[in-house]
Chain A
Amino acid sequence: MRWQRLIRRDLPRAAFMCVISVIYGFMFLPIAVVLVMSLSPTKLLEFPPRVLSIAWYLAALTPDWIGPARVSFTLALGAALLSTLLGVAGAFAVVRHQFPGRQAVLAALQSPLAVPSIVAGVAILQFFTLAGAKALLGFPALLLAHTVEAIPFIVRTVSISLQGVDRNLELAAMNLGARRWQTLRHVTFPLIKPGIFAGAAFAFIISFNNVNISLFLVRPGEITLPIRIMNFMEYGVEPILAAVNILSLVAVLVVVVIAERFGGFTRFLYGR
């Protein structure tokens, strides 16, 4: 009887878990490879690596790479900030009030999701050039374009948080004498912090790693890190790129962890 259970239940389950592990492995394979490449002292890819070296990381910390990294970082922070301001406003309006055209407005706020980002990049480049705003290309245009891409995410996460807020808590606060602004500040905003920070973290990630839009809006001197890496790839698979890529990942991780500390949005993971 025990072998029956083995074949009927345990074997299929083990096989299933094998498949799951393989898929997870597939998902992390390129990242692991880049990590190993960044730590190998030579240009040759040897596996398993015999010696570990941080030479490529030191080589990556030069103005050649720090420049674009700084551009990407400040850009992503700016886009996160701007899109959060606009997105929170939009979320409040759409969630808290019924008004004619509400569905259309919600669709409009989410419209960047429906448009391939390369189309948006082309459109924005053409717009700035033809409208005589060529001087705005580079950082300003990048900031505005990345904000456009990020707004739908902020609206979504903040809406979810906002819908979960018990209105009675706000009414109770006002009943006790709080004014509207005080209620917002001390009751509502703490309750929607996970949504705000999750959205802001998302905005940072998509801005920092963005390629399709940045492709068209960068200017000499104002290049984002992903674009710089892609340009460098014309020289082939250079290990220094591995180090740059890993450092870029670390930067994003640090920001996301900090955002999580402030906003506590890991609870979103439970719902998923």
Chain B
Amino acid sequence: MSSGPEPSNTAPRARREVSGYVPLVLPPLIFLVVVFMIPLLILGALSFLRHDAGLIINEFTLENYLKLFTDWFYLRVIYRTLAVSLIVGAFVTILSYPVAYFLTRTRSRWKPLFVALVLAPELSGVVLRTYGWLAILEPEGLLNGLLQRIGLIDAPLKLVHNYTGITIGLTHVLLTFGILTVMASLQAVDPTLEQAAQNLGASRVRTFLHVTLPLTLPGIMGSFFLAFAIAAGAYATPAILGGKTTEVLATMIYSQLLFFMNWPLASAAAVVLLALVLGTFVLLGRLGIRREAAL
């Protein structure tokens, strides 16, 4: 790669010319610091201030956090948010695995279409899908109408404006993410390991249970905790499918911030949610690292 009187310098000079991109990191970084990280710090700071009748008082206090963790009303919201999110995580993972397995193992030439079909619901957004569930699950909705018409039930089932509806809606919304997460893990499984097991006489079921499933455990946990984390912070689905008595963390933050004008309390709740989600990701990281070491 020489082209001149200084052959030994040409290659290094070319490399130096192509790189030197480091200053390019500044625009996005500065942007994120100003518009994202500084606001988060302010949020944290606000959570330690006092609130009185719609005004923020510049006094350090732990009363917001104390209220969140000792007042039964707020504790119940946190507990219910956690419970719903864990159940959603489980449902999402259970439903994701078969589809992910199918997508990674199929040799059909329609595979890209099937993958696109998994991604497609994301295009419609949370609102459209949740609205669809409202129409399906409400007392005068499709499901109840169908069940009543064929005589299975007499009175409509209470499937919305409660945590049941929220769980169904959130499971649906998060399915795409779950499938993609499990797919990534399944694709990393060395197919020769499965072939070796079958060569040694294991049936397909045994191969799956003893080889494939354990190897994809990181993907399963990833899917579970990712769905859990997103569900914990979800607003639209609980707001639409929930009712007056079914608050989750996100809807509680919203009402504290914009109705009660209690910015410090809302900030504290937001910090709690953030800590919950970050803790989940740290846990995932820890598990992931240990998994890799074991292999």
Chain A interface (Cβ within 8 Å of chain B)?
A: 16-17, 19-20, 23-24, 26-34, 37, 45, 47, 85-87, 89-90, 92-94, 96-97, 99, 105, 108-109, 111-112, 114-120, 122-127, 130, 144-145, 147-148, 151, 155, 167, 170-171, 174-175, 180, 183, 205, 208-209, 211-212, 215-216, 226, 229-230, 233, 237, 241-242, 245-246, 248-249, 252-253, 256, 266, 269-270, 272
Closest approach, in angstroms, between the C-beta of B139 and any C-beta of chain A?
11
Chain B interface (Cβ within 8 Å of chain A)?
A: 1, 3, 11, 14-15, 17-25, 27-29, 31-32, 35-40, 42-43, 46, 95, 98-99, 102-103, 112, 115-119, 121-136, 138, 140-142, 145-146, 172, 175-176, 180, 183-184, 229-230, 232-236, 239-240, 250, 253-254, 257-258, 263, 266-267, 270-271, 273-274, 277-278, 281
Contacting pair A245 B127 (CB below 8 A)? yes
Point out the residues of chain B lying under 8 angstroms from A269, CB to CB.
112, 115-116, 119
Closest approach, in angstroms, between the C-beta of B113 and any C-beta of chain A?
9
Contacting pair B123 A116 (CB below 8 A)? no
Of A97, A127, A174, A226, the residue contacting B125 (CB under 8 A) is: A226
Point out the residues of chain B lying under 8 angstroms from A85, CB to CB.
27
Known A116-B273, A246-B128; further 14 A-B contacts with Cβ < 8 A: A27-B117, A29-B132, A34-B131, A34-B132, A34-B135, A47-B142, A85-B27, A111-B32, A118-B250, A122-B43, A212-B234, A230-B239, A233-B134, A256-B123
Of B124, B136, B274, the residue contacting A119 (CB under 8 A) is: B274
Point out the residues of chain B lying under 8 angstroms from A124, CB to CB.
35-36, 39
Contacting pair B17 A174 (CB below 8 A)? yes
Task: With A119-B270, A209-B125, A211-B127 as known contacts, state yes or no: A180 contacts B42, CB within 8 Å.
Answer: no
29 pairs from A and B in contact (CB 8 Å cutoff): A16-B102, A19-B98, A28-B117, A29-B132, A30-B133, A31-B121, A31-B129, A33-B142, A47-B142, A90-B25, A93-B24, A97-B19, A97-B20, A111-B37, A112-B36, A114-B277, A114-B278, A115-B36, A116-B233, A116-B273, A124-B36, A151-B32, A167-B18, A175-B14, A183-B18, A229-B131, A245-B127, A245-B131, A249-B125
Q: What is the CA–CA distance of A105 and B37 in the complex, to the nearest angstrom?
A: 13
Closest approach, in angstroms, between the C-beta of A97 and any C-beta of chain B?
5
Point out the residues of chain B lying under 8 angstroms from A120, CB to CB.
36, 39-40
Of B127, B172, B267, B277, the residue contacting A122 (CB under 8 A) is: B267
Closest approach, in angstroms, between the C-beta of A9 and any C-beta of chain B?
9
Point out the residues of chain A lying under 8 angstroms from B124, CB to CB.
31, 209, 245, 248-249, 252
Point out the residues of chain B lying under 8 angstroms from A256, CB to CB.
123
Of A109, A118, A148, A175, the residue contacting B233 (CB under 8 A) is: A118
Contacting pair A126 B142 (CB below 8 A)? no
Contacting pair A253 B233 (CB below 8 A)? no
Contacting pair A23 B98 (CB below 8 A)? yes
Contacting pair A116 B20 (CB below 8 A)? no
Q: What is the CA–CA distance of A46 and B290 in the complex, to the nearest angstrom?
A: 54
Q: What is the CA–CA distance of A112 and B281 in the complex, to the nearest angstrom?
A: 13
Of B28, B116, B240, the residue contacting A89 (CB under 8 A) is: B28
Point out the residues of chain B lying under 8 angstroms from A30, CB to CB.
128-133, 135-136, 172
Point out the residues of chain B lying under 8 angstroms from A115, CB to CB.
36, 40, 274, 277-278
Q: What is the CA–CA distance of A211 and B251 in the complex, to the nearest angstrom?
A: 12
Residue of B nearest to A176 (CB): B3
Contacting pair B233 A20 (CB below 8 A)? no
Identify which of A99, A122, A167, A266 gathers the most chain B CB atoms within 10 Å of its CB. A122
Contacting pair B172 A27 (CB below 8 A)? yes
Point out the residues of chain B lying under 8 angstroms from A245, CB to CB.
124, 127-128, 131
Of A23, A90, A112, A270, the residue contacting B29 (CB under 8 A) is: A90
Point out the residues of chain B lying under 8 angstroms from A87, CB to CB.
28
Closest approach, in angstroms, between the C-beta of A209 and any C-beta of chain B?
3
Closest approach, in angstroms, between the C-beta of B175 and any C-beta of chain A?
6
Q: What is the CA–CA distance of A166 and B281 in the complex, to the nearest angstrom?
A: 34
Identify which of A23, A170, A226 gathers the most chain B CB atoms within 10 Å of its CB. A23
Residue of A nearest to B233 (CB): A116
Q: What is the CA–CA distance of A79 and B40 in the complex, to the nearest angstrom?
A: 20
Residue of A nearest to B134 (CB): A237
Contacting pair A180 B17 (CB below 8 A)? yes
Contacting pair A93 B43 (CB below 8 A)? no
Point out the residues of chain B lying under 8 angstroms from A105, CB to CB.
25, 29
Contacting pair A252 B123 (CB below 8 A)? yes
Point out the residues of chain A lying under 8 angstroms from B236, CB to CB.
211-212, 226, 230
Closest approach, in angstroms, between the C-beta of B84 and any C-beta of chain A?
15
Contacting pair A96 B131 (CB below 8 A)? no
Contacting pair B141 A45 (CB below 8 A)? yes
Q: What is the CA–CA distance of A144 and B39 in the complex, to the nearest angstrom?
A: 12
Point out the residues of chain B lying under 8 angstroms from A29, CB to CB.
132, 136
Contacting pair B112 A266 (CB below 8 A)? yes
Closest approach, in angstroms, between the C-beta of B290 and any C-beta of chain A?
20
Q: Which A-B residue pairs are the 3 nearest by beta carbons?
A: A30-B132, A116-B233, A209-B125
Of B102, B131, B146, B250, the residue contacting A212 (CB under 8 A) is: B250
